[in-house]
Amino acid sequence: MGTVRIGYKASAEQFDPATLLDYTKQAEAAGLEIVATSDHFQPWRHHGGHSPAALPWLGAATVATDRALLGTSVLTPTLRYEPAIVAQAFATLGCLAPGRVFLGVGTGEAMNETPATGAEFPGRKERRLRMAEAIELIRRLWREERVDFEGEYYNTSQATIYDRPAEEVPIYVAASGPLAAKLAGRVGDGFICTSGKDPQLYLDLLEKVKEGAEQAGRDHAQIRHMIEIKVSYDRDRQKAFDNCNFWAPLALTPEQKEGIEDPIEMERVADENVGQAHTRFIVSDDPDEVVEKIGTYLDLGFDDLLLHGPGPDQARFIAQFAEDVLPKLRERAG
């Protein structure tokens, strides 16, 4: 495990771009070292949801912050975006904030890709193969002067990225299953997953990351392990529970939400299960309890911890967490 960094999940599904930027500045001022934003075309909820575009928002964040590592958790570089456009955008971000940008990628969700493109959402295998090819193309565009690429899914002709940072932007690969985790190990600078699931899943995923790295002749210890930790901390215990309700879609099973492309339908299904909303979160008014539960992810070997607070008042969450929990968490992280 590398040096532990603690960061903030800037939830674009819940806040407008200017408000999210204000929370980002507060998170950095509170000592959080990473800010990762989601990249959705549509939010989980039609009523009260938001969905600012990640790429221009990150450009604004490079100017609004001084130290924080900025990136996506996660962007899908395969359907809404051509990989070459992602390569160009993140090279530009890397120039604006040298050494402070990462590209987090994943295989996507139907509600973000199908409405924006009109294309049928591919199955899991094709999505994974597309992501592997996209990563290969992005890296070639960052490393070579002119790229002629003929892949199964993507093509470029004499393509050049003219503005590139001196330090290549690291690519973090998200995975919730074994094959994507092996891909993260083979080609990723980092691996991303989310908290609140069966503990055995994390052991299995991390083992697959290691396996993929070893098969590619890579040192798996050099791969950062990032996890979005869903934590609803508030000094008012009831508020901590109530704050989870907006995020009821996270408590749905993959089978419940896989085919849903409409935020109105997602909202309806989620609200039928709103009593389960808190189950994906660490919910507490006790700082020691929060540190103990986050500590299980430290023990697994995660070294980049992204705090995802679910409440509508993020200023309150950041302030209370920074004062009550963060010093104890840093001590626990060593």
**DSSP letters along 229-266, please?**
EEEEE-SSHHHHHHGGGGGGGGGS-HHHHTT---HHHH
Q: Contact at 8 Å (CB) between 173 and 191?
A: yes
CA–CA distance, 113 with 6 (Å, rounded to integer): 30
Q: Which band of pLDDT confidence, cut at 50, 70 and 90, is reported for residue 204?
A: very high
pTM: 0.96
DSSP letter at 158 equals E
| Average pLDDT score over the chain | 96
Tell me what the mean pLDDT of segment 17-27 comes to.
Answer: 98
Q: pLDDT tens digit string along 308-329? A: 999 999 999 999 999 999 999 9
Q: What is the pLDDT of residue 172?
A: 98
Active site residues: 40, 109
- E strands, the chain, are 5-10, 34-37, 69-72, 101-105, 147-150, 155-159, 171-174, 190-194, 224-233, 282-284, 304-308
Q: How far apart are CA 155 and CA 167, in angstroms?
A: 25
- pLDDT of residue 245 exceeding 80: yes
Section 90-115 average pLDDT: 96
Share of the chain above pLDDT 70, in %: 100
Q: What mean pLDDT comes out for the span 119-138?
A: 96
Which of 13, 21, 73 has the alpha carbon at shortest distance from 40? Answer: 13
Q: What are phi and psi of 132, to 5 degrees?
A: -60, -45
- Predicted pLDDT of residue 164: 98
Q: Quote the percentage of the chain above a pLDDT of 90.
A: 90
Under 8 Å between Cβ of 306 and 8:
yes
Would you call the peptide bond into 74 cis, given omega within 30 degrees of 0 as the criterion? yes
Lowest mean pLDDT among 17-26, 175-184, 242-251: 242-251
**From the CB of residue 253, how many other CB atoms can be counted at a distance below 10 Å?**
8
The answer to whether residue 259 scores a pLDDT higher than 90 is no
| 1 pLDDT tier (thresholds 50, 70, 90) | low
